[in-house]
Amino acid sequence: MSLFHGHKAIKVPQNITAWDIDPYSKEVLLDPETFFSALRERGPFVYLNKYKMLACGRYKETKAVFSDHQRFVSSRGVGIQDFKLEKPWRPPSLVLEVDPPKHTRNRRFLTKALSPNKIAQLKDFFKNCADELINELLQKKEIDGILDLAEIFPTRVFPEAVGLKKIDKETLLGYGAMVFNALGPDNEFRKDAMAKGLSVLEKINKQCLEENISAKGLAKEIYRSTAEHFEEDELAGMLVRSLLSAGIDTTVSAIGNLLWCFAKNPEQFQLVKDDKSLVGNAVEESLRLTSPVKAFCRTSAVETEVSGIAIEEGTKILCVLGSANTDPEMWDNPYKYDVTRRTIGHLALGIGVHNCVGQTLARAEITALTMSLVERVKTIRPAGIAAWKPNNAMRSLESLPIILEK
């Protein structure tokens, strides 16, 4: 067997188009919609010549692969690398990169800590912090929606909610950038993020130890839950780390993308202001349209088929969530931001056993901030050209010049 970019190099299956595009190129990362449309047009799956693997971008097939954890596993890595064939750069995530029954056990510890009751207790805290931040920003003539808002709010409230005593914004953002860029090939974005992020890895691991967390945060609940079943604390520390891996960058991206949607569609922002019951749907529609995680991989555990396409065992499949969420076969006028759209079924937070375990926490944060915006801000206007950030797995803005009008 030949290894290619850390996974099995498969041959072109029958009835599949071979494509020379590089989905991890800067051009594609900065303009994903063009890639999404071309990917869907080429069929249920395409063969990526550059990486000798498959990709899917239609809603039907992406959902099918993501929903079937027995045929398409996560334990071999949700990035381009196959952990069965090549040692991962760090210990795999105990939630994102394991399969049942281990996944079931580990996820149970997190869901207990992130129970609806625990999240409900944080809502006032999130809303008060959001109100304070928006009031601060309303004093400025112009802000950068990313640097001044999207990056600030989660890095203020998330560490306190989790119970991390001493951790700064740069550490959290650097770690997140490393984790998501590491899911791609060894390109310039991965190399740069790894060079910057590895220096904070030890700090992150140390911050997740029980002696460095507060008694009231969500992390303490994880330690309590695992202590009932295990004597060692290593599992709890890694579970806390998994919250950091997925809980910061995705929320920063989601907030930035939501601001972008509001700034580009002032009439939609006004609809939410007029009917605040639309706040939740406005958030979901932004997640659908600008999925923070563009793509995750799965690996076929057996020889199988999907939509009549034969897939050999050990095939890496790039499941492009952002493309599935804008598939016209699933969504009418898919590139329109519509806060009244029925958004049930979008894949931005995954589906099946590996759906995002922290989604209730993320939604609580983003909803609190959105409510503060619609209550306190008259309009959100563009003040310049938005700049997207190239990332192997995330869809995030680097800067978003906007004006918040009282």
The gap from C-alpha 219 to its chain's centroid, in whole angstroms, comes to 20
**Pick from 179, 160, 163, 154: which is nearest to 222 by CA?**
163
CATH number where 278 lies: 1.10.630.10
**Pick from 370, 406, 401: which is nearest to 264 by CA?**
401
CB-based contact 353:69 (threshold 8 Å): yes
> What pTM was computed for the model?
0.95
305-336 per-position pLDDT tens digit = 999 999 999 999 999 999 999 999 999 999 99
- CA of 195: how far to CAs of 89, 175, 198, 299, 389, in Å? 13, 11, 6, 28, 17
In degrees rounded to 5, what are phi and psi of residue 394?
Answer: -95, 155
Residue 110 in tokens: 């997190």
**Tell me, what's the pLDDT at 231?**
60
CA atoms within 13 Å, Cβ hemisphere of 126: 22
Please name the helix (run of DSSP H) or strand (run of DSSP E) that holds residue 73, with its range, or none: strand 72-73
Find all residues with CB under 8 Å of 31, minimum gap 6, and list them: none
Q: What angle do CA 312, 74, 35 make, to 5 degrees?
A: 75
**Tell me, what's the pLDDT at 2?**
58
180-228 per-position pLDDT tens digit = 999 999 999 999 999 988 888 888 888 888 898 998 899 999 998 888 7
Helices first, then strands: H and E counts in the chain: 15, 15
Q: In whole angstroms, what is the distance from residue 351 CA to residue 26 CA?
A: 28
Q: Total structural domains in the chain?
A: 1
Low-confidence ranges of the chain (pLDDT < 50): none
**Tell me, what's the pLDDT at 94?**
87
Q: Which domain holds residue 391?
A: 3-405
**Tell me, what's the pLDDT at 403?**
98
